[in-house]
Structure 1
Amino acid sequence: MQQDAIIIGGGFAGLSAAYILARARRHVTIIDSGTPRNRFAAHSHGVLGLDGKSGLEILTDARAQLAAYPTVTFVEGEADAAEGVLDDFHVSVAGHGSIAARRLLLASGVEDRLPDIPGLSERWGKTVLHCPYCHGYEIGGGPIGVLATQPMSAHQAAVVADWGDVTLFTNGMPEPDEETLALLERRNVTLQPGTVSIIETGTCDMLRVRLENGRTFDVKALFVAAELHMRGTIAESLGCALQETPAGKILTTDAVKATSVAGVYAAGDNARAFGNITLVSADGVMAGLGIHQSLMFASHS
């Protein structure tokens, strides 16, 4: 049976879109590998009514609620390939064959690629963090580090300064321009040149940032702007237009989350420069509305 929509990715964006379509009694298949981007964090914060609940727990509850809708089907696995045109898309999933649908939503998110510094990746989501709005309050003030990975890292350090005493580790990045240096000074951010060689465990459960010159600095947390990489190659194979952001490429979408390819939509971290649970969920809602209206007003709907 041809579905109204296939949603690749069962995270916050994909499930939010599925809710809209399910409640419009449209037939939806959600393909999900069970590896959401925020799985490394034990708790989610700043989510209205759900503060402190883990992202995985929120997703589990959402899936259970969606499963009650008779037009929703879940497929566990990775979408290997997708092809087709408006009203006739086909997605291949290992072990499940090919699934047909009239519309396609790309909501598989992104991967965070961290600098290759020993001790960094194993602390990701715990004391190595990406978003002060998500995790800054729990740090409780005190010394905080920001690791420069791109020109916008200086701006990140200026923002993080509301949550503690910030040191910006330039890690080989060029020194900021005069205007940015003035901003860092106003925000009481300390600039620390030198290349970071390793992240270690310091005293009192703090992180120890060790430079190649042997100097060490203990901080309560280290913020890093990871490089974003879209998962898989389906968007590329379909010919969807991309746009550059300071953190990496994302899919280009319009106000209702339609991509440059007719019938293909995108929502969530792969289609916005900055995201959290609330924002990507809203993205999914808009994509669901866009897909439904597209189906509803199609001449042969």
Structure 2
Amino acid sequence: MSNTGTTHDVIVIGGSYAGMAAALQLLRARRRVLVIDGGRRRNRAASHSHGFLGQDGADPAAIAAAARHQLEAYPTLSWHEDEAVAAGGEHDDFHVETRDGHCHRGRRLLFATGVSDTLPPVDGLAERWGVSAFACPYCHGYELEQGRIGVIAAGPMSIHQAQLLPEWGTVTLLLNDALALDDATAHELAGRGVAIEPTPIARIDGHADVVLADGHRLPFAGLFTAPRTAPSTPLAERMGCTLSETPTGVRIHTDDAKQTTLRGVHACGDAALMMHSISLAVADGAWAAAHLHRSLVWPDA
């Protein structure tokens, strides 16, 4: 294991939107920041980003590239393109090991690792994730032009999705043996104009065509489901950070200052939030950075 010999003020694990937003604030405070990034943005399959003020409709890869270019104008930035595989230490003396054998040291850690999505086991769904199958209607609903929308049931959150999505089109809730509806819920969904399809799904093909087990084909403008999310790397949990259960999965537990249950270790973005979008990730990263900076100025506060 090779030690880089530099002690950074903050090591940011994850160089997507939340991590870069945090790094920017810290760099503007003239702090030494190392960003470690494995290069796998959660929205890498999406061709357009929506709902982010000033960037509506932009290529998310272009947003990320422009942000990194802006960070690189600051001389106290270091950027390491690799996967963090281990982390440890204590307040003011943390270390992060990367797959290439380097060991990086820092006074504070920020987990901005994003999340992984566990999708319902439907043939063809993963290949369309971020292209014609989505989780967030605020990010992707408008572009469906009020067409036919299919909601693939994954659990109780799918009821919430089906109730909300009629704002964007004509909705069918595909139960797919993953959800049982009581009479009151079925009545409530009917009141929102939601059709119920009890036949299991055989596969998805074409743009967003659902082929049922009985052979019937239901074409949709787009599909939604409620994946179960979890931090994309177990590093924070392995260090001893507590995870919290949410209706959509698990997140790294933080207080109002974005500090985890370990002193000197913070978390932000999708990995530390229940609701996810670029806007929320950027705001959360900036908020985490402000508190990280305060902890460096007043370490005993």
TM-score range (shorter-chain normalised) is: over 0.9
Which residue of structure 2 aligns with residue 292 of structure 1? 293
Q: Secondary structure at the match of 2:150?
A: strand
Matches within 5 A, 1:66-105: 66-95=71-100, 97-105=102-110
Which residue of structure 2 aligns with residue 40 of structure 1? 45
C-alpha separation between the residues in 2 aligned to 1:12 and 1:180? Answer: 37
Alignment deviations for residues 178-217 of structure 1 (CA, whole Å, 9 cap, x no partner):
443232122100111121110022xxxx522112122221
Q: Which 4+ runs in 1 deviate beyond 4 A? A: none
Which residue of structure 2 aligns with residue 223 of structure 1? 224
C-alpha separation between the residues in 2 aligned to 1:150 and 1:138? Answer: 25
Which residue of structure 2 aligns with residue 265 of structure 1? 266
Which residue of structure 2 aligns with residue 181 of structure 1? 186
Alignment of 1:119 onto 2:150: no
Identity %: 45
C-alpha separation between the residues in 2 aligned to 1:152 and 1:115? Answer: 13
Give the alignment partner of residue 200 of structure 2, picking from 191, 195, 199: 195
Give the alignment partner of residue 21 of structure 1, picking from 3, 15, 26: 26
Q: Secondary structure at the match of 2:105?
A: strand
- 8 Å CA contact 2:243, 2:250 repeated in 1: yes
Matches within 5 A, 1:242-253: 242-253=243-254
Q: Secondary structure at the match of 1:17?
A: helix
Q: Secondary structure at the match of 1:37?
A: coil
Residues 114, 223 of structure 1: CA spacing in aligned structure 2 closer, same or farther, 3 A cutoff? same
C-alpha separation between the residues in 1 aligned to 2:160 and 2:50? Answer: 22
Larger mean Cα displacement after TM superposition, 19-28 or 183-192? 183-192
Residues 253, 2 of structure 1: CA spacing in aligned structure 2 closer, same or farther, 3 A cutoff? same
Which residue of structure 1 aligns with residue 137 of structure 2? 132
Alignment deviations for residues 114-147 of structure 1 (CA, whole Å, 9 cap, x no partner):
2222221111111111111111111101211000
TM-superposed deviation, 1:247? 1.9
In the alignment, residue 71 of structure 1 is paired with which amino acid?
T
C-alpha separation between the residues in 2 aligned to 1:177 and 1:65? Answer: 53
Q: Secondary structure at the match of 2:44?
A: helix
C-alpha separation between the residues in 1 aligned to 2:227 and 2:257? Answer: 27
Q: Secondary structure at the match of 1:95?
A: coil
Larger mean Cα displacement after TM superposition, 87-96 or 157-166? 87-96
- 8 Å CA contact 2:242, 2:253 repeated in 1: yes
- 8 Å CA contact 1:150, 1:246 repeated in 2: no
In the alignment, residue 46 of structure 1 is paired with which amino acid?
G
Which residue of structure 1 aligns with residue 62 of structure 2? 57
Aligned-CA RMSD value: 1.4
TM-superposed deviation, 1:96? 5.2
In the alignment, residue 243 of structure 1 is paired with which amino acid?
S
Give the alignment partner of residue 156 of structure 1, picking from 158, 161, 177: 161
Which residue of structure 1 aligns with residue 150 of structure 2? 145
- 8 Å CA contact 2:240, 2:262 repeated in 1: yes
C-alpha separation between the residues in 1 aligned to 2:252 and 2:182? Answer: 30
Larger mean Cα displacement after TM superposition, 207-216 or 59-68? 207-216
- TM-score computed with the length of structure 2 as normaliser: 0.95
- TM-score computed with the length of structure 1 as normaliser: 0.95
Q: Structure 1: where are the runs of 5+ without partners?
A: none
- 8 Å CA contact 1:127, 1:221 repeated in 2: yes
TM-superposed deviation, 1:233? 1.8
C-alpha separation between the residues in 1 aligned to 2:270 and 2:300? Answer: 32
Larger mean Cα displacement after TM superposition, 32-41 or 113-122? 113-122
